[in-house]
DNA sequence: GCGTAGTGTAAGTGCGCACTTACGCTACAA
DNA sequence: TTGTAGCGTAAGTGCGCACTTACACTACGC
């Protein structure tokens, strides 16, 4: 049997490109021809690495989520241990909103929720996301002793809602960048119930 | 010239059906064949009433938005003048979330924002929506004398964000109905800064 | 060297769908 | 009654796109 399998490695190399393509084009406009061209390979090659377009999409979703979590981890590692992670993450989110296309890909996926695989993947993603945020809220509230206006898990969902809408606002140009950032931090802080 | 134009009337009759179809199927899955079948006419007939599928879609968006506003008006008219409209509208939103497909159609449209017409229509819709909500927040705060934790317009955007996410949560079954309603009212009240 | 698993390239293929054409029928204005 | 604008019905048409096939080439195990 000749040539050791390099498929896994090739998948890893192509994923960021696929993710970027899906992120900026959405599901529909990201045609297989376009994906191939952006990866600088033939369509054929993609189909040798993934069974179909949906699989490429799901792999991309997963990749972007994990990359986002890595970014959070890196940001937190640079924070002093006694500072609030939550506040740092809010700043971070305000800054590189939409940068890596995670939300655009999620919104693209939301239109495919009739497909059970896609729906399940999104569900899992949101639940993991929620869990991660709730952890930080708990930590934040313990640290600051802030009086809770809502349960931690409700606050976590509310922050997720806020971020989702920030991306809508970005896409639709509902507010300019400065305003959007001010809006986000005002409301996020209010939700954490930290008097300014 | 024979037969007086009934086109306008037919459009009015078909719009609710179109809107329902787009609302439950999204843009992509709402094929022209499917639309025609749900309206119980031939595709041809639709094309005699609107120039193309996009026009049908935009008309449906507009229709749903106006219907939602009518519903609000009706709800408010039934409220005692000294009661808070805002609280009544929050209850209402919690109850018939997703009922008329407005949000599903908006999410469908969000994937078509590369089309300037669709983007512009959404922009206009959100800005009108925001303006309407802000009015109620101003009224509410004047009425209750609640101390503001955020500007009225920020609070209005935050409520819009919340409702948008409620619909995501509904689609993805992130929470059950009871939980979702509890979450929404808790956070909405917190945003209005009315102590419970 | 030789056979085979995998690679690059390119030309299909078939289907779903937005949109069109064709044509006969109907109701109204003249 | 007759001409015409609009209606119903049904059969296209063409194109974009997910996915496939074909085939020559290459690297590796034997």
Summarised one tens digit per residue, pLDDT across range A97-111 is 777 788 889 988 998
Burial environment of residue A75 by CB neighbours within 10 A (0 to 12, 13 to 18, 19 or more): middle
Query: Residue A120: its pLDDT value, please?
Result: 95
Residue ranges of chain B with pLDDT lower than 50?
Answer: 1-2, 4, 195-196
% pLDDT > 90, chain A: 67
Nearest CA among B123, B118, B20 for reference residue A28: B118
Residue B168 to residues A79, A110, A120, A152, B141: CA-CA distances in angstroms? 32, 8, 13, 20, 29
Q: Is the CB of B44 under 7 A from strand C?
A: yes
CATH number at residue A69: 1.10.357.10
Question: Token pair of A15, please?
Answer: 């994923």
Q: Which residue among B114, B168, B187 places its CB closest to the CB of A158? A: B187
Question: A33-84 pLDDT, tens per residue?
Answer: 999 999 999 999 999 999 999 999 999 999 999 999 999 999 999 888 777 8
In a domain, A182, yes or no: yes
Closest alpha carbon to C1' of D6, residue: B3
In a domain, A2, yes or no: no
In a domain, B47, yes or no: yes
* A147, A155 contact by CB (below 8 A): no
In a domain, B1, yes or no: no
**A160-176 burial code (b ≥16 CB/10 A, e <16):** bbbbbbbbbbbbbebbe
* Range of the structural domain that residue B134 is part of: 7-192
The count of structural domains within chain A is 1
Query: Residue A43: its pLDDT value, please?
Result: 96
Query: Residue A75: its pLDDT value, please?
Result: 92
Distance from CA of A70 to the nearest CA of B (A): 24
Task: Report how far residue B187's alpha carbon sits from residue B183's, in angstroms, rounded to the nearest whole number.
Answer: 6
Query: Residue A125: its pLDDT value, please?
Result: 97
Task: Report how far residue B177's alpha carbon sits from residue A79's, in angstroms, rounded to the nearest whole number.
Answer: 38
Size of interface A-B (CB pairs under 8 A): 109
In a domain, A125, yes or no: yes
Q: Is the CB of A37 under 7 A from strand D?
A: no
Q: Which residue has the higher pLDDT, A145 or A166?
A: A166
Give the mutation candidate from B24, B98, B149, B194 for the A interface (greatest A CB count, under 10 A). B149
Q: Is the CB of A48 under 7 A from strand D?
A: no
**Torsion angle, CA of A157/B112/A26/B33, rounded to 10 degrees?**
110
In a domain, B2, yes or no: no
In a domain, A29, yes or no: yes
Phi, psi dihedrals of residue B193, rounded to the nearest 5°: 60, 50
Chain B residues in contact with A174 (beta carbon < 8 A): 123, 126-127, 130, 157
Predicted confidence (pLDDT) at residue A196 exceeds the cutoff of 80: no
Task: Report how far residue B62's alpha carbon sits from residue B59's, in angstroms, rounded to the nearest whole number.
Answer: 5
Query: Residue A1: its pLDDT value, please?
Result: 40
Residue B98 to residues A105, B62, B166: CA-CA distances in angstroms? 22, 16, 9
Predicted confidence (pLDDT) at residue A166 exceeds the cutoff of 70: yes
In a domain, B68, yes or no: yes
Q: Is the CB of B43 under 7 A from strand D?
A: yes
Q: What is the pTM of this model?
A: 0.92
CA angle A169, A196, A94 (to 5 degrees): 30
Given CB atoms, is A99 within the 8 Å cutoff of chain B? no
% pLDDT > 70, chain A: 96
């Amino acid at each position: 049997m000749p040539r050791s399998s390099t498929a896994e490695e090739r998948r890893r190399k192509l994923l960021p490109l696929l993710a970027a393509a899906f992120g900026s084009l959405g599901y529909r406009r990201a045609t297989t021809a376009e994906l191939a061209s952006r990866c600088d390979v033939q369509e054929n090659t993609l189909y040798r690495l993934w069974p179909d377009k949906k699989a490429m999409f799901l792999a991309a979703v997963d990749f972007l989520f994990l990359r986002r979590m890595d970014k959070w981890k890196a940001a937190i590692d640079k924070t002093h241990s006694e500072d609030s992670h939550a506040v740092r993450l809010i700043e971070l989110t305000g800054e590189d909103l939409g940068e890596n296309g995670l939300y655009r890909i999620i919104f693209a996926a939301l239109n495919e929720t009739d497909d059970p695989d896609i729906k399940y993947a999104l569900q899992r993603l949101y639940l993991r996301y929620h869990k991660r945020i709730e952890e930080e809220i708990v930590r934040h509230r313990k640290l600051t002793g802030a009086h809770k206006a809502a349960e931690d898990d409700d606050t976590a969902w509310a922050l997720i809602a806020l971020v989702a809408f920030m991306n809508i606002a970005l896409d639709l140009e509902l507010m300019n960048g400065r305003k959007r950032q001010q809006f986000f931090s005002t409301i996020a802080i209010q939700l954490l119930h930290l008097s300014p």
